Amino acid sequence: MEIGPYSFEEFLKVVESFHGHQSPGVILGGFMVSYALEQLPRGILIDAVSETPACLPDAIQLLTPCTLGNGWLKVINLGRFALSLYEKYEGKGVRVFIDPAKLDGRPQIRNWLFKLIPKSEQDRDLLIAEIRQAGRSILGMRPVRLKREHLGKTRRGAISNCGMCGEPYPERDGLVCRACQGQSPYV
């Protein structure tokens, strides 16, 4: 089973170099993205939603032109290991998810997905072998259409210098920038 333009072994290497290790979530995500891509007409502009910040955004960035940086990929954290790819302007596309009803006989994937055993006790090679064997057979897919408010560009409006830190920020965030409103992560 190929994953986009890659053989399975090639994809493992690509994942390792981009993500830092052979992440089961990104590898499974590769099957999810290539499954979704095949459902869409060729030659259209695609946007993507990942329903989790974990793993799936990297699979989408590796296999589609959609990145967080170019804004074609959005993370909408619904806590589900699922993604959708859709035509940019009309928002028609497909959503791919893991179907729990299809996990019988897939103990490694079940243990991983439901965190039934500690990560340190999970045999990752065995898990990756099971993901390879399972491929798309554990996935579900359905057509989706995005709500209008999720289509098109998000505009930031006017920019001015923050009165406290002096750096440029979108005026619509308030009188001072978000960092100076207390949202800064830094000590």
Residues that bind Zn ion (CB under 5 A): 162, 164-165, 177, 180
**Cα angle 49-114-25, degrees, rounded to a multiple of 5:** 45
Least distance CB 13 / Zn ion (angstroms): 42
Nearest to 66 by CA among 84, 79, 42, 92: 84
Query: Per the structure block, which two tokens stand in for 178?
Result: 């978000």
Q: What is the 3-state secondary structure (H, E, C) of 49-65?
A: EECCCCCHHHHHHHHCC
Q: How many CB atoms lie under 10 A from the CB of residue 92?
A: 14
Whose Cβ is closer to Zn ion: residue 60's or residue 180's?
180
Least distance CB 69 / Zn ion (angstroms): 23
**DSSP letter assigned to residue 32:** H
Three-state SS at 106: coil
Least distance CB 178 / Zn ion (angstroms): 8
Nearest to 66 by CA among 81, 45, 82, 51: 45
Whose Cβ is closer to Zn ion: residue 83's or residue 177's?
177
Least distance CB 68 / Zn ion (angstroms): 23
Alpha helices in 114-184 (DSSP H): 124-134
Least distance CB 155 / Zn ion (angstroms): 21
